[in-house]
Amino acid sequence: MFLRLLIFVVVVVLVYRAAKKWFGPDHSLSSGDTGAPPQSVDDEMIRDPECGIYFPQRSAVALDQRHQVLYFCSTECRDRYLARHSSEAPQ
Ligand SMILES: [Zn+2]
């Protein structure tokens, strides 16, 4: 008697899961297009001085200048910025 009830509950749970998977819109499983989770509300969006795109400060690459700190979207942009500014200096 108890075993039958247990089996019934298990079957109901499995059917419920399967139905949810088939009929529900699959935002939980299709983790394809949107990369960033929507938890980055507290992130400040800053602008890359090299390539000009906006990005969250949390993922920024910081560069300490003498009187200010610059933030870049990637190390490539930081290196490009540095190369451009160091090539201007000697001449
Ligand atoms: Zn950049």
Cα(73) to ligand 1 centroid in Å equals: 4
In the predicted structure, residue 29 carries a pLDDT above the cut 60: no
Cα(44) to ligand 1 centroid in Å equals: 16
In the predicted structure, residue 27 carries a pLDDT above the cut 90: no
Q: In this structure, what are the phi and psi dihedrals at residue 71, rounded to the nearest 5 degrees?
A: -120, 130
Residues 12-26 have pLDDT tens digits of 888 888 888 887 765
Cα(58) to ligand 1 centroid in Å equals: 14
Q: pTM of the entire structure? A: 0.49
Q: What protein residues have CB closer than 5 angstroms to ion ligand 1?
A: 48, 50-51, 73, 77
Beta strands per DSSP E along the chain:
45-47, 54-56, 61-64, 69-72
Cα(82) to ligand 1 centroid in Å equals: 12
